[in-house]
Structure 1
Amino acid sequence: MTTSVTAQGAVSPPCPVCGRDETASFASVDGRDYWRCPGCAARFLDPRQHPARAEEYAAYLTHDNDPHDPRYRRFLSKLADPLLDRLPHHARGLDYGCGPGPALAAMLREAGHEVALYDPFFAPDPAPLADTYDFVTCTETAEHFHRPAEEFTRLRDLVRRGGWLALMTCFQTDDARFAGWHYRKDPTHVVFYREETFHHLAQAWGWTCEVPEKDVALMRRPAARDASA
C-alpha cells in the first residue's frame, strides 16, 4: 500500500456534500485519490473512481444484517435510543437506505411507530419518497452516496416541520490514520463525514444538530414556519 499526495495538476472536483468549488488534494491510497473540503470538512473519493452500480450491489449482498441479530440491534441502538427519546407517540418515519434486512425499522415499529422503507437496491419503490415524515433515519448509508448534496436535499425535504433526520456513519477524525482506516477500505464507501460536516449542513438549512452518541447526528427541522427551513 502506498500513500502520497495526489498528483499535482489534478483538477479539483467540487465538494459533493456542500457544493464548494474549491477543494484540496488530501491523499492517494492504493490507487484511489481523495479530496477534502475546507468548508464542510468532508473527505471524499474522486468521483471519477466511484464503483460501478453492479460492483456496489455485489458488495451489499455480502453484508449480514439480520434484523433478529442481537449484536446488530445493539449497534443500531446507538441511533435508535436517542431518537426514540425525542419522538412523540405513534410517529411516522422512513428508513432511507434500509438494506436487505431492515432491523432499525423493526426496532422502531416495536416501539410503536410507523416506518416506511426505501432503498435503491432492496426496496426501490419510490412511492414513500412522495410523502413527508416525523422522522427519517439513514444508518450506514450516507458514506455510499455518490451525489450526497442531492441525497441530503431529498432527505431534508422528506422531514416535516419539527421532525428529525437521524444519521449514523463512522465519523472521520484522524487524517494520519486515514490510509489504514477500515471504513476507507470498503470500496463502496466514497464520502467520509466529520461531526462538523453535519453541523455545517444543519446551519445551512437553518436546522439544529446534536451528536448524542459517537457517529450519530440528530438534525431537527424547526417547528415554526421559516423560509430558510
Structure 2
Amino acid sequence: MTEATDAPEDLVRAVRAAGVSDERLLQAVRATPRAAFVPPDHRAHACHDVPLPIGHGQVTTQPSLSAMMIAGLDLSGNEHVLEIGTGLGFQTALLARLAADVVTIEMWPDIAHQALCNLAGQGLRNVELRVGDGSGGVPDRAPYDAVIVSAAFPEVPAPLAGQLCSGGRLVQPIGPGGQEQVMSFLRTPTGLERSRMLTLAYFVRLRGRYGFPS
C-alpha cells in the first residue's frame, strides 16, 4: 500500500475536482502533508479526501471542503486572518501558507496543544494559537481581513462580523449543525452581506457564548 505521505497529489486532485483552481491554494495543499495533522492511528487514511476523528466528538474538515472555504476568502497573501476552530491544524497550515499571518482559536486545550506541535513541526511561525470560546472571536487582535469559521450556526455571530474589516470576507457554514450552506460574506460599509454559497456540507455545531450552549 502506498503511504499517505507519498501521495500529496491525491488530495490535490480531490481539491481540483471540487472546483478549486487557485494555483497558490493547490500548491499549499501540495506542500502540506496531511499525515502530519491527523492522529497516528488514522495516518494511513490521510491522503483520502475524508474527515477524520480527532476526539471530543470533533472531526477534521474534509480537505477539499477546507480548500473550497479558503478559496471563498479570496486571499492574496497579505491578509491578517482569523480562524475559528483550529482542530489539529491542517487548515491552519494552508491559511498560514496563503496569508501574512493567522490567529486561530480552539476550544479544546489538548487538541490545541497537538495542533501547536503539528504546526511547529512544519516550521510555520506566522500562526498565533489561542484556547477559548471561538464564537466571540479574538477581539484584541482585530480587525481581520478575513475570517473562516469551521463550525455551524444559523447566523454569523455578531462579534465575528464586528471584527472583520470593511472589504473583508468571512466564510461560515450557516445552519443548525447537520446539512449547512457554506456561505461567503463580504463586509460592506453597511454591514455583512451574503456574497455566494460555496457548497452544502455537514458541520459540527459552533459552541460558546455566541453560538449553541456548550
Normalised by the shorter chain, which TM-score bucket?
0.3 to 0.5
Q: TM-score, normalised by structure 1?
A: 0.42
TM-score, structure 2 as length reference: 0.45
